[in-house]
Amino acid sequence: MEGILVPISLFLGAFAMVFGIRYLSNKEKMAMIERGIDPGVHKATPKPFLSLKFGLLLVGLGIGLLVALFTVRGVFGSDMTRSEQGQSVAIYFGFIGIFGGLGLIVSYLVEKKWLDNNKF
């Protein structure tokens, strides 16, 4: 019986959450219209470097995975015990975080350089 109730309650909870968010968003927009405020103004700000940021993040994650793969193969070799396999998982997550962060830092430096060169 519990095997059926868990998916049903998860589905109903997700539906109620989405419905509540949409309902409250609509009420907020209607209140803004009643006061004479344009509800679409605050969402129109452009983000010109967003694709660069995500691109560099994904490149950093990919490089991190490759470096982790070569590190695990170089350190542990091809025949790994159970504890060595657990350590290799930690190495993968560590390198993903390190190189993903480096990708975001490079994105910040590129944005800062562009903004410094194009001051208005």
The residue type found at 97 is G
The two structure tokens encoding residue 114: 């562009």
Residue 56, SS3 per DSSP: helix
pLDDT at 34: 92
Low-confidence ranges of the chain (pLDDT < 70): 41-46, 78, 120
Structure tokens at 110: 């590129």
What is the C-alpha separation between 109 and 74, in angstroms, rounded?
33
Average pLDDT, the chain: 84
Token pair of 36, please? 């004479």
**Residues 8-39: pLDDT tens digits?**
999 999 999 999 999 999 999 899 889 988 87
